[in-house]
């Protein structure tokens, strides 16, 4: 009892021992904050400086424009403030801040410490870096901490990245894909809302296909990342659903990391679910790394599809290679 058995291969926990915590404690998303940087860079802007075309970028990636500007702490604080307002909560209400980012302001302190001060929070703060899987990792971490009897009751989870600060704007392989963005959710203990299943994994052997050195730019083997991403996401979603005792047909709302529309299409095809259950922010944001899932969640909320009882599946993947999925009853 109490000690969960972790399966080595995928990192996920056997259903019978799912939570070494109080299963009666459940958690809901109480507020979402989606602000974006103001500056817009369109494909036509890229056409002026790169050997590329608007048509190629739309066709191969599904991106029309992306937002740029700001530092991570500033964008995270903006999203956090919006999420607090949406939840009707004050800074004092928050017991813990988790910031998912791979583009910290400084080596240290953790960027979340700056955000904590900027928002006037009085709680602890930590950064999570699982690159584009970061928000889902942070969400799972927050949830499992909150279900411990002595755990925090309200957690602010931010997903924020400023990838354009580490992108070589003369490299057409990467410059066309990435943008800056930020999203945040407030999680609170509540009888409505439950994490039904999750999966988190990594394969560090795949480091060479996507990495960024200190003081360097993003290096990527696009085609390899594409293939590995589809496989990782499908396997991860299936593992999280199996833990929940569900199948892909049960998903009402799919919130996939937004990197390339063709990756999302390939995932939907392999899971045999309709693209209709996904929400597209990619076209207007590009790949915003940790921000993409909370931004997609905000789009789903705006589209009026997040109802109590809805089965929502978020799934992220990125450099590492790292991936994570969470199946949530809304
Ligand atoms: N504009 C025009 N042509 C381009 C181009 C651009 N921006 N980038 C590459 N090309 C060219 C290539 O040079 C190649 O030309 P060639 O056939 O003469 O050699 C051709 O387009 C096809 O290149 P390829 O790399 O096979 O394209 P692709 O269909 O795989 O699309 C990516 C490239 C990067 C859009 C795609 O592989 C991708 O999205 N991969 C995943 C990246 C990702 O998600 N990273 C983040 C993970 S979190």
Residue with tokens 């990495």: 211
What is the per-residue pLDDT across 24-49, written as a single tens digit (0 to 9) for each? 667 778 788 777 899 999 999 999 99
For residue 252, the SS3 value is coil
Task: Give the mean pLDDT of 120-138.
Answer: 98
Task: Give the mean pLDDT of 166-187.
Answer: 97
Confidence at 10, pLDDT banded by 50, 70, 90: very low
CB 159 within 8 A of CB 121: no
Q: In the chain, what percentage of residues exceed pLDDT 90?
A: 88
Check if 260 has its Cβ closer than 6 Å to any atom of ligand 1: yes
CB 308 within 8 A of CB 330: yes
* pLDDT at residue 1 in the model: 30
* pLDDT at residue 110 in the model: 98
User: What is the chain's mean pLDDT, rounded?
Assistant: 92
CB atoms within 10 A of CB 125: 22
19-33, 181-195, 247-261, 290-304, range with the lowest pLDDT: 19-33
Check if 174 has its Cβ closer than 6 Å to any atom of ligand 1: no
Task: Give the mean pLDDT of 293-302.
Answer: 94
Residue with tokens 């990391």: 257
Task: Give the mean pLDDT of 10-18.
Answer: 45
Q: Say yes or no to pLDDT of 312 above 80.
A: yes
CB atoms within 10 A of CB 45: 13
CB 212 within 8 A of CB 219: yes
CB 80 within 8 A of CB 87: no
Check if 288 has its Cβ closer than 6 Å to any atom of ligand 1: no
Which atom of ligand 1 has the smallest separation from the CA of 173?
Answer: 8
Residues taking part in catalysis: 132, 257, 287
Confidence at 2, pLDDT banded by 50, 70, 90: very low
What is the per-residue pLDDT across 57-110, written as a single tens digit (0 to 9) for each? 999 999 999 999 999 999 999 999 999 999 999 999 999 999 999 999 999 999
Ligand 1 centroid – CA 173 distance (Å)? 6
CA 211 to chain centre: 18
Around 154, how many Cα atoms within 13 Å sit in the side-chain half-sphere? 18
* pLDDT at residue 35 in the model: 76
- Whole-number Å distance between alpha carbons of 278 and 267: 11
* pLDDT at residue 15 in the model: 45
Q: How far is CA 186 from CA 154, 172, 227, 253, in A?
A: 7, 37, 34, 19
**Which segments within the chain are labelled E, that is strand?**
27-33, 39-42, 65-68, 96-100, 124-128, 154-162, 180-189, 194-202, 210-211, 219-220, 253-256, 311-318, 322-329
* pLDDT at residue 21 in the model: 52
Which atom of ligand 1 has the smallest separation from the CA of 317?
Answer: 48
Check if 267 has its Cβ closer than 6 Å to any atom of ligand 1: no
pTM comes to 0.93
Ligand 1 centroid – CA 223 distance (Å)? 7
* pLDDT at residue 59 in the model: 98
Q: In the chain, what percentage of residues exceed pLDDT 70?
A: 92
Backbone angles phi, psi at 301, to 5 degrees: -65, -45
* pLDDT at residue 318 in the model: 97
For residue 213, the SS3 value is coil
* pLDDT at residue 30 in the model: 79
Cβ-Cβ contacts under 8 Å for 93 (sequence gap 6 or more): 84, 154
Ligand 1 centroid – CA 177 distance (Å)? 10
CB 267 within 8 A of CB 243: no
* pLDDT at residue 36 in the model: 87
* pLDDT at residue 33 in the model: 78
- Whole-number Å distance between alpha carbons of 105 and 116: 14
Q: What is the DSSP string of 120-181?
A: T--SEEEEE--GGGHHHHHHHHHHHHHTSTTS-SEEEEEEEEEGGGGS-TT-HHHHTTB-EE
Q: Say yes or no to pLDDT of 4 above 60.
A: no
* pLDDT at residue 24 in the model: 60
What is the per-residue pLDDT across 206-246, written as a single tens digit (0 to 9) for each? 999 999 999 999 999 999 999 999 999 999 999 999 999 99
- Whole-number Å distance between alpha carbons of 32 and 186: 7
């Amino acid at each position: 009892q109490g000690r969960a058995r972790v399966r080595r291969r995928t990192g996920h926990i056997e259903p019978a021992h799912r939570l070494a915590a109080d299963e009666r404690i459940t958690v809901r998303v109480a507020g979402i904050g989606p602000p974006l940087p103001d500056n817009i860079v369109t494909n036509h802007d890229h056409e002026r400086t790169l050997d590329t075309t608007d048509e190629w970028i739309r066709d191969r990636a599904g991106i029309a424009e992306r937002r740029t500007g700001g530092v991570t702490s500033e964008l995270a604080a903006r999203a956090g403030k919006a999420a607090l307002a949406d939840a009707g909560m004050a800074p004092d209400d928050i017991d813990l801040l988790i910031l998912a980012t791979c583009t910290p302001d400084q080596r240290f302190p953790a960027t979340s410490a700056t955000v904590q001060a900027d928002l006037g929070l009085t709680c602890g703060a930590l950064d999570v870096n699982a690159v584009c899987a970061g928000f889902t990792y942070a969400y799972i971490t927050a949830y499992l901490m909150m279900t411990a009897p002595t755990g925090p009751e309200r957690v602010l989870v931010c997903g924020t990245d400023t990838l354009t600060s580490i992108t070589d704007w003369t490299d057409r392989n990467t410059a066309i894909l990435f943008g800056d963005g930020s999203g945040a959710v407030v999680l609170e203990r509540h009888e409505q809302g439950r994490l039904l299943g999750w999966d988190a994994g990594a394969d560090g052997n795949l480091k060479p296909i996507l990495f960024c050195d200190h003081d360097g730019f993003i290096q990527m083997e696009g085609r390899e990342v594409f293939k590995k991403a589809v496989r990782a996401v499908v396997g991860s979603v299936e593992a999280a659903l199996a833990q929940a005792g569900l199948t892909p047909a049960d998903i009402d709302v799919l919130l996939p990391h937004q990197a390339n529309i063709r990756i999302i299409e390939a995932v939907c095809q392999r899971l045999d679910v309709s693209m209709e259950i996904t929400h597209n922010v990619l076209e207007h944001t590009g790949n915003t790394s940790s921000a993409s899932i909370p931004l997609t969640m905000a789009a789903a909320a705006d589209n009026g599809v997040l109802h109590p009882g809805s089965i929502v599946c978020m799934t992220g993947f990125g450099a590492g290679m790292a991936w994570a999925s969470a199946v949530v009853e809304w």
